[in-house]
Amino acid sequence: MSRIDTAATGLTRRSLLATGAAVLATPMLSRRAFAQATELTMLAWYGHAEPDIVAEFEAENNVKFVPKYYTGGDNMLGLISQSPPGTFDVILSDAEYVQALNEAGYVEELDPNDYALADYFPEFQNFPGNWADGKLFSMVTRFGFLGVAYNTDALTEAEAANYNVFWDPRLTGKVGHFDWHLPNLGQMSLLNGNANPYDIDEAAWQAVKDKTMSLRPQIGGFFDYGGTFSSLNDGQMLAFCGIGDWITGVLEKSGAKVRSVIPEQGGLQWSECFSIGKDSAKADLAKKWIQYITSAKGQAKSAQMAAYPALVPNQKGWEVLNAENPDEAKRQGMTKEAGNVIDMIRAGRIKYRQWPVQQSLEDWNDFWSEYKGS
Amino acid sequence: MRRPITLYGLTFSLPLLVWQILFFVFPLLFLVALSFWTVKNFTMRPDFDTVNWTTMYGRAVFWQAYGTTFALATAASVLTSTLAFPCAYAIAFKLSDSARRWAVFLMVIPFFTSYLVRVYSWQIFLSDNGIINVILGWIGLGPFPLLNTVGATMIGYLTLSFPLVVLLQLFSLVFIERTLIEAAHNLRCGRLRTVFAVVIPSARVGLVIAALFCFILSFGDFVSPVYLGGGEPTTLSILITDTTKSGQQWPRAAVIALTMIGTLMLVAFAAVKFAYKGKTR
């Protein structure tokens, strides 16, 4: 029987062995073909190691990024502290956490001469948090503003351009909070007229708490990243506290009727900075990546990141963006026209988001829990 | 009569024991130890300090969240059990064998999809511009606020536990001695009275265990209160994420987690005791 079967299928022992050997060897061949691609680990917010940002750099340098995404600076610090040194080659961090990274010795010192700092707007050349004792530890790569996010069907831009709009009776149960104390309480502090929203004395802190508590009946929910997106997108929430274009920009591009505006009391600024992880075995490649993403070309890409758009600090990056995608440059306010985002910073309308100076982070967090539970 | 432990018996039970020690007892002990650690500048340090316990137990928001979570989980167990019982009863006593197999299959299907996805899809039904409000709008009603309410959270809990509760109830109902029901009917006991006097007491163990599972699942659930309840009221699971989100306060989160585990153990113990009350082996 077996003889007949062999003849019918044309399968001989020799051909079987040959096929088997070829099948077994295939992974080896393909492994050889990709053998040169170096893996570079990146610890970052979601989106930073996606193809729209890294594909070109990966192809040019035969690198493959291995991202580890986090949500929030605390999560990031936790991941680093639980991993052995050298786990992450490139680390993206919000500016207020860079100092903690530096103090804990998680990042390498950078040489300012390696980077196109001269192309940066002057405000970002000596960016606080990037430097400690005259030494550079990280490079700010993108930033954005936090103001009032609103549904354009429900509110006009003029109405939304004031934090008091959150108390509007039309918005009862329709105001959402991005569930993190720092941006929300910072905005309440701005509304209370504090010039340095995070550096406030006990009386001013009490006033911020009282003001925030008075907003509680208006609140329809406390949302994480995904919840913020969906509740703005489906019109469940008509105004949002604690966010900005990094969320509404994505929705706006996909046709949702939402926008962000910097109110007359001012806005907050978040900033993302790249560092090289301590004891990285691929520090040279990591340096090359930071050079790329802070270059004019990289900056234009970063501004249009699919995950969430942002402003960029490199002036030449603005030029590339205006040439490539003038509509997006205009939408985000990165044009040479008066009133652009740098003018807003220069006019003093924007304050850095930072950790509370006179209270502990714990005090702010505890109050936030109480506010939510009330 | 208790049999002596044999090597043969151990070969089968030992892997389970090792598994339990490795992945349940050891992490639990670590959690206990962690609750006494301290945090300085975002870094956890091994320590023996009761500060986390006194801080958490001294905060009104903790007890508020505890009461809310307990009440929500209790309500979910009662509601789910009440809604599931007619369903399980019909499947057990009214359907043919093949229809029953189909019904069981249909109850298993929801587990094919991630619970998170199922909860997100509820948003499409419940939002102000969602399917339910649009349909109500056609007859001139609404829109009613459905999403970000306690009711929506409850729908999430039902999504999580309803199929499981039906299945657990079903398995206890199908094993009821049919002659008991016939005897009740012969003694001129009405249908409804038979259910309360014969069926429910006979299936008590299964019904209580089903409700207990619903309580356990709802008590620790994070997804429904956040994505359907809009994060309010604050439940213990939300409080855990809040606690870890600022300043790396994992030791305090461990206090909350241990309190939850303790509560669940007490509830489970009480439920099992009640379920087997008066039963002899």
What integer pLDDT is reported at residue A8 of this predicted model? 46
| Beta-strand relationship, A350-352 and A267-276 | parallel
Structural domain boundaries of chain A?
A: 38-137+272-330, 144-266+352-373
Q: How far is residue A127's CA from residue A53's CA, in Å, rounded to a whole number?
A: 24
Please list every residue in chain B whose beta carbon sits closer than 8 Å to the beta carbon of residue A80: none
| pLDDT number for residue B49 | 93
* Each residue's pLDDT tens digit, A46-93: 999 999 999 999 999 999 999 999 988 888 888 888 889 899 999 999
- The residue in chain A having the minimum alpha-carbon distance to the alpha carbon of residue B245 is A74
Integer Cα distance of B227 and B248 in angstroms = 24
Distances (CA, A) of A40 to A110, A289, A302, B28: 18, 10, 19, 36
Beta bridge partners of A43: A68, A91
Tens-place pLDDT, residues B177-224: 889 988 998 998 888 899 999 999 999 999 999 999 999 999 999 999
Q: What is the pLDDT of residue B10?
A: 77
Mutant choice from A102, A236, A240, A353 vs B, greatest count of B C-beta within 10 A: A236
- Contact list in B for residue A222 (CB cut-off 8 A) is 230-232
Distance CA A286, CA A301 (A): 18
Chain A CA closest to residue B240: A369
Confidence of residue A257 (pLDDT cuts 50, 70, 90): very high
pLDDT of A135-165, one tens digit each? 999 999 999 999 999 999 999 999 999 999 9
Residue A186 corresponds to which tokens in the numbers above? 């910072």
Cβ–Cβ below 8 Å for A74 and B248: yes
Encoding tokens for residue A255? 């046709």
d(CA B206, CA B199): 11
Q: What is the pLDDT of residue A26?
A: 52
Closest-CA residue in chain B for A221? B230
CB neighbour list of residue A196: distance below 8 Å, 6 or more residues apart: A351, A357
Question: What rounded mean pLDDT belongs to chain A?
Answer: 90
Task: Please state which CATH class domain A38-137+272-330 belongs to.
Answer: alpha beta
Tell me the per-residue pLDDT of A113-124, one tens digit each, with 9 for 90 and over: 999 999 999 999
The pLDDT profile of chain B, 281 residues, written as one tens digit per residue, is 566 777 787 787 888 889 989 999 999 999 999 999 998 767 788 999 999 999 999 999 899 999 999 999 999 999 999 999 999 999 999 999 999 999 999 999 999 999 999 999 999 999 888 999 999 999 998 789 999 999 999 999 999 999 999 999 999 999 998 899 889 989 988 888 999 999 999 999 999 999 999 999 999 999 999 999 988 889 999 999 888 876 678 899 999 999 999 999 999 999 999 999 876 54
Q: Where are the domains of chain B?
A: 61-275
The minimum CA-CA distance between B232 and chain A, rounded to whole Å, is: 6
Token pair for A168: 């509007």
* A88 within 8 A of A80, measured Cβ to Cβ: yes
Helix (H, G, I), strand (E, B) or coil at B34: helix
- With H, G, I as helix, E, B as strand and everything else as coil, classify residue A102: helix
pLDDT band at A231 (very low <50, low <70, confident <90, very high): very high
Position A9 pLDDT exceeds 50: no
What's the CATH class of domain B61-275?
mainly alpha
Q: What is the mean pLDDT of residues A304-325?
A: 95
CA distance B162 to chain A (A): 24
Residue in B30, B34, B41, B42 to test binding to A, most A beta-carbons within 10 Å: B42
- What pLDDT was estimated at residue A13? 62
Q: CB B226 to CB A227 under 8 A?
A: yes
For chain A, give the percent of residues with pLDDT over 90: 75
Task: Say whether the peptide bond before residue A326 is cis (omega within 30 degrees of 0).
Answer: no
Distance CA A226, CA A179 (A): 11
Distance (Å, whole) CA A335 – CA A341? 8
CB A350 within 8 A of CB A197: no
The reply to whether B120 touches chain A by the CB within 8 Å rule is: yes
A252-262 burial, b at 16+ Cβ within 10 Å, e below that, comes to: beeebebbbbb
Per-residue confidence band for A2, with pLDDT thresholds at 50, 70 and 90:
very low
Strands A139-151 and A267-276: antiparallel
The CATH classification of domain A144-266+352-373, taken from the options 3.30.300.130, 3.60.15.10, 1.10.3720.10, 3.40.190.10: 3.40.190.10
Could you tell me the two tokens for B238? Answer: 């939300």
- Average pLDDT of span A101-110: 91
Residues A172 and A220: their CA atoms lie apart, in Å, by 8
pLDDT score recorded for residue B191: 87
Q: Which of B43, B124, B230 comes nearest A222 by C-beta?
A: B230
Mean pLDDT estimate for chain B: 91
Cβ–Cβ < 8 Å for B32, B259: no
Residues of A in contact with B246 (CB under 8 A): 74, 181, 361-362, 364-365, 368
Distance (Å, whole) CA A144 – CA A150: 17
